[in-house]
Amino acid sequence: MKYRIFSVLIQLLIAGSLFSQQVNIIMLETTDVHGSVFPYDFIKQTKISNSLAQVSTYVKAQRQDSAKRVFLFDNGDILQGQPVAYYYNFEDTNSIHIFPKVMNYMKYDAATIGNHDIETGHAVYDRVRKEFNFEWLAANGINTETNLPYWTPYKIFIYKEIKIAVLGLTTPGIPMWLPQNLWSGIEFEDMIKSAKKWVSIIKENEKPDLIIGLFHSGIDFTYGGQTAETPKNENATMLIAKQVPGFDVIFCGHDHVKYNSIVTNVNGNKVLILNAGSHAKYIAEADIQLVKDPKNSTWNKKLNGKLIDVAKIEIDNAFMLKFQKEYTEVKNYVSEPIVNFKNSIDLKDAYFGSSAFIDLIHRVQLYYTKADISFAAPLSYSAKIDSGEVLVSDMFKLYKYENMLYTMKLTGQEIKNYLEYSYSHWLNTMTDENDYLLNYKYDSSGNPVKLKFPYYDFDSANGIKYTVNASKPDGNKINIISMQNGEKFDTSKMYNVALNSYRGNGGGGHLTKGAGLTSQQLTSRLINSTDIDMRFLMMHWLKEQKEIAPKATNNWKIIPEKWVANRRIIETEMFFDE
Residues 446 and 558 in one domain: yes
37 and 185 fall within a common domain: yes
CA atoms within 13 A on the CB side of 149: 20
Whether 144 maps to a domain, the answer reads: yes
Residues 456 and 315 placed together within one structural domain of the fold: no
Q: How far is CA 235 from CA 221, 225, 264, 509, in A?
A: 5, 12, 18, 16
Q: Are residues 396 and 427 in the same domain?
A: yes
If one counts every other C-beta atom within 10 angstroms of the C-beta of residue 385, the result is 22
Residue pLDDT, tens place only, 284-310:
999 999 998 888 878 899 999 999 999
Judgement on whether residues 347 and 309 belong to the same structural domain of the protein: no
Determine the structural domain holding residue 133 and report its residue range: 16-330
Say whether pLDDT at 13 is over 50: no
Indicate whether 315 and 445 sit together in one domain: no
Report the CATH number at residue 100: 3.60.21.10
Q: What is the pLDDT of residue 570?
A: 83
In angstroms and rounded to an integer, the radius of gyration of the C-alpha atoms of the chain is 27
pLDDT at 3: 47
Which pLDDT does position 249 carry in this prediction? 98
What is the rounded (10 degree) CA torsion for 318, 323, 325, 326?
-160
Q: Which of 112-126, 285-299, 386-400, 404-418 has the lowest mean pLDDT?
A: 285-299
187 and 82 co-located in one domain: yes
Mean pLDDT of 332-361: 96
Give the phi and the psi of residue 6 in degrees, each rounded to 5: -60, -40
User: Do residue 488 and residue 552 come from a single domain?
Assistant: yes
Query: Do 325 and 454 belong together in one domain?
Result: no
What is the rounded CA–CA span in Å between residue 8 and residue 141? Answer: 57
Same domain for 402 and 286: no
- The structural domain count of the chain equals 2
Cis peptide before 560 (omega within 30 of 0): yes
Is the domain of 97 the same as that of 185?
A: yes
Report yes or no on 304 lying in a domain: yes
DSSP β-ladder status, 141-143 and 440-442: unpaired
- The set of residues, in sequence order, having a beta carbon less than 8 Å from that of 302 and lying 6+ positions away, is 288, 289, 290, 291
5 within a domain of the structure (yes/no): no
**pLDDT (0 to 100) of residue 185:** 97
Confidence tier at 134 by pLDDT (50, 70, 90): very high
- Residue 469's CATH number: 3.90.780.10
**439: in domain:** yes
Mean pLDDT to the nearest integer, 4-30: 64
**pLDDT (average), residues 459-483:** 98
Residue 20: the pLDDT is 55
Q: pLDDT band at 10, cuts 50/70/90?
A: very low
Q: What is the pLDDT of residues 535-552, one digit of tens each?
A: 999 999 999 999 999 999
In tens, the pLDDT along 156-180 reads: 999 998 999 999 999 999 998 999 9
Residue 360, domain member (yes or no): yes
**What is the rounded distance in angstroms from the CA atom of residue 144 to the CA atom of residue 141?**
9
- If asked whether residues 135 and 23 sit together in one domain, one would say yes
Residue 342 falls inside a structural domain: yes
